[in-house]
């Protein structure tokens, strides 16, 4: 389906909301008078939705003739005559989102769990209200009234915001940082994955070269953090445990030599794939100050594991978890994904039952996100979108299982094109929260990120209380990263070196 706008305004917001209501559709937003619009009109004379921005208001007209506009709405009354609706402004943006959402609710006969919110950090809204003095109940009510969130999701966001605030207040925000180290290699590429990852088998002869370059980047960038407190270290990917024990030892030794990792409140290695975990690698991590690892099943159904391209069985996941326990790891996270192809609520219940037997310290519950860059997009085209589903029942099963293990929700984020328009939620037993997860989602601290595809962020705390964020991206392609490491190091120097205006 295509949507026609008379002006180039908020195309992303319109696309995101329509896609949320029509996840199986190829949604395209085009601008009136352009070649793309003319091409769409040749195939479909009447667009699914026509959005008309004018100085005094916004009007939406659907292909069946139904019309909706902002004139006389509560938002327009609040704004008075101060808003020009044919140019960008916060008031125009909010009015548009409200109008699109409300009209789509009527057209489709359904609502979305998160209302008109399309950003990845809904807890920020609740957090902002709480920091202004609102109670959690008042923050939740605000999200229901202003963004049409369901009462359950609004309450969840407020509850997590309170917990996050109490934890993050203990971190060094202005004078601290977290360290991310990326390993972009995987045993196989999962069906749903769109992250930058490279085949371990194809790159095996050059992984040493990658580790050498990464260690050089560590040594060159370590001085940039002088005077800052290191709160978290996170080694992610890809799959960091695709490294051999010797390569992993070299990497962890270099991290200890370059950075004060002993003072970090958390040092995570995302072991991730059970088929990459061995006792030798676990002992290497235990020799260094690694405090937290992940052993990620995604599902405990073998048939689904085979379908999504994992080379391990559910039994091997349990074996890897028990091996980590034997080697002394007492803070282990497990990831699962709801909405995997063909899985039902009964499959989710089975997965939770199997995980409860293992009793990890934390559980991250993902709602499947359909990424265009993943092989899943092609699978859906061949097999149909109806095979991808997530429901309130599945989300409730996961939440109940986490609660039964003594866990509480502590962070939350959303992605585009999530099954059921739900969210990703981290659960943990008290004291085992993933601090880095909260720091990166809430963007409350600078991050020095090293390795292919890593994105460094520096936070500038302004006098008016606002925060400005600047970024420096490393090349995603491993070959480009290896060849151009000098340029990437120099950009990080410019980002982190003190400046007179800081």
* b/e 466-485 (16+ beta carbons within 10 angstroms → b): eeeeeebebbbebeebbeeb
What is the SS3 assignment for 197-211?
CEEHHHHHHHHHHHH
Whether 75 has a pLDDT exceeding 70, the answer reads no
Render pLDDT for 218-246 as a digit per residue (tens, 0 to 9): 999 999 999 999 999 999 988 999 999 99
Render pLDDT for 4-43 as a digit per residue (tens, 0 to 9): 999 999 999 999 999 999 988 889 999 999 999 999 999 8
Render pLDDT for 133-174 as a digit per residue (tens, 0 to 9): 999 999 999 999 999 999 999 999 999 999 998 998 889 989
d(CA 76, CA 87): 15
| Structure-model confidence comparison of residues 349 and 205, the more confident one | 349
d(CA 218, CA 450): 7
All domains in the chain, ordered by first residue: 1-110 (3.40.50), 170-449 (3.80.30.20), 451-496 (no CATH)
Can you give the pTM of this predicted structure? 0.90
Q: What average pLDDT does range 392-416 have in this prediction?
A: 95
pLDDT band of residue 501 (cuts 50, 70, 90) is very low
d(CA 20, CA 22): 6
What is the SS3 assignment for 346-411?
HHHHHHHHHHHHHCCCEEEEEECECCCCCHHHHHHHHHCHHHCCCCHHHHHHHHHHHHHCCCEEEE
Q: What average pLDDT does range 187-201 have in this prediction?
A: 69
- Tell me the backbone φ, ψ of residue 410, rounded to 5 degrees: -130, -15
What pLDDT, on the 0 to 100 scale, is given for residue 110?
A: 94
Which residues does residue 287 pair with via DSSP β-bridges, in sequence order? none
How far is Cα of residue 148 from the mean position of the Cα atoms in its chain?
A: 22
Mean pLDDT of the chain: 91
Closest CA relative to residue 480, chosen from 448, 452, 450, 455: 452
């Amino acid at each position: 389906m295509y949507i026609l706008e008379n002006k180039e305004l908020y195309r992303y917001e319109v696309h995101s909301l329509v896609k949320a209501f029509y996840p199986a559709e190829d949604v395209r937003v085009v601008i009136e008078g352009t070649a793309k619009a003319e091409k769409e009109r040749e195939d479909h004379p009447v667009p699914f939705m026509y959005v008309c921005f004018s100085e005094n208001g916004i009007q939406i007209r659907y292909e069946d003739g139904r019309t909706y506009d902002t004139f006389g709405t509560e938002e327009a009354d609040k704004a008075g005559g101060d808003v020009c609706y044919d140019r960008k402004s916060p008031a125009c943006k909010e009015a548009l989102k409200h109008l699109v959402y409300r009209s789509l609710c009527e057209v489709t006969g359904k609502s979305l769990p998160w209302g008109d919110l399309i950003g990845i950090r809904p807890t920020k809204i609740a957090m902002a209200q709480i920091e202004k003095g609102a109670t959690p109940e008042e923050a939740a009510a605000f999200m229901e009234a202003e963004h049409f969130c369901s009462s359950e999701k609004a309450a969840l966001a407020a509850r997590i915001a309170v917990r996050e605030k109490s934890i993050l207040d203990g971190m060094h925000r202005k004078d601290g940082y977290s360290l991310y180290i990326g390993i972009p290699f995987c045993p196989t590429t999962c069906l749903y994955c769109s992250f930058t990852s490279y085949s371990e088998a194809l790159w095996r002869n050059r992984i040493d070269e990658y580790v050498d370059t990464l260690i050089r980047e560590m040594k060159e960038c370590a001085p940039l953090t002088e005077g800052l407190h290191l709160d978290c270290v996170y080694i992610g990917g890809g799959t960091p445990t695709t490294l051999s024990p010797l390569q992993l030892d070299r990497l962890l030794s270099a991290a200890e030599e370059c950075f004060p990792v002993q003072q970090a409140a958390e040092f995570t290695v995302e072991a991730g794939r059970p088929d990459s975990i061995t006792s030798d690698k676990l002992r290497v991590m235990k020799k260094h100050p690694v405090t937290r690892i992940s052993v990620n099943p995604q599902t405990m159904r073998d048939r689904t594991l085979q379908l999504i391209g994992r080379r391990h069985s559910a039994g091997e996941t349990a074996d890897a978890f028990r091996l980590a326990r034997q080697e002394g790891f007492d803070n282990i996270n497990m990831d699962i994904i709801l909405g995997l192809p063909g899985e039902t609520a009964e499959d989710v219940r089975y997965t939770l039952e199997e995980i409860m037997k293992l009793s990890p310290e934390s559980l991250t519950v993902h709602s499947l996100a359909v990424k265009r860059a993943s092989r899943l997009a092609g699978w859906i085209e061949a097999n149909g979108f109806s095979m991808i589903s997530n429901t309130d029942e599945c989300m409730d099963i996961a939440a109940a299982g986490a609660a039964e293990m003594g866990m509480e929700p502590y962070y939350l984020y959303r992605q585009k094109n999530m099954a059921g328009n739900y969210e990703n939620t981290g659960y943990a037993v008290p004291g085992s929260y993933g601090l880095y997860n909260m720091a990166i989602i809430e963007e409350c601290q600078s991050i020095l990120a090293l390795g292919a595809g890593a994105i460094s962020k520096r936070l500038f705390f302004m006098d008016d209380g606002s925060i400005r964020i600047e970024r420096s991206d490393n090349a995603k392609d491993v070959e480009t990263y290896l060849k151009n490491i000098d340029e990437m190091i120099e950009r990080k120097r410019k980002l982190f070196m003190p400046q007179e205006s800081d």
